[in-house]
Amino acid sequence: MLHAISFRTGLVACASSLAAMVVLSASAMANPARAAMLDAFATNCFSPFLNAATAEANIASTGARIDYYDLTFAVVQRTSDTDITPGTDRRCEVSFDGDHGADAAEVATNALAAERILTDAPLPATHADAALPGTTLLAARALNPNRVAVVHTGTRPGPNGVETFLSVERLTPNASSEALR
């Protein structure tokens, strides 16, 4: 079942897990558990309707670690106590054990294309030094003419050795305006 609604207007294209799996590469599909974690990012993290409870239910249930916050609610919603990136009001990050940075970049790129989030934006100053040695993708995209999101994928040290991460952070309206100048 595919609900075709535009992300740029504040709504999202919500696809069933089966439909979203189309954005996964053959190498990602070779491991069903890893494929489920990558799919959880692609299916959920771009949704403006995602909240802490659904992030836990839809993403953490795959075995992935989730770092989610949304500051736009009357009560801030969070799944962890990691630092909030200055100039952002929302983060959805999925991480899991292993070195799969290339798959993460491919999944994030395909998810952006599936959501029709294609317009490059300047990388904001808050993310200028965000690239890590294992970064496979670090890019800013205009969600609409007034909002920007930064997508970051790669590998880094994790709790069990190398971990793969996929992250999308939405800039605040002021930070978005600054980035789009």
Q: Is the pLDDT score of 25 beyond 80? A: no
Asked if 72 and 104 touch (Cβ cutoff 8 Å), the reply is no
Q: Which tens digits make up the pLDDT trace of 71-100? A: 987 778 999 989 999 999 999 999 999 999
Query: Quick one: DSSP state of residue 80?
Result: S
Q: If DSSP codes are grouped into helix, strand and coil, which group holds residue 43? A: helix
- H/E run at residue 157: strand 147-158
Domain segments of the chain as ranges: 26-180
Residue 129 makes CB contacts below 8 A (sequence gap 6+) with: none
Q: What is the mean pLDDT of the chain?
A: 85
What are the backbone dihedrals phi and psi of residue 120, each rounded to the nearest 5 degrees, phi first?
-65, 150
Residue 173 CB coordination number (10 Å): 12
**Is-contact 66 82, C-beta < 8 A?**
no
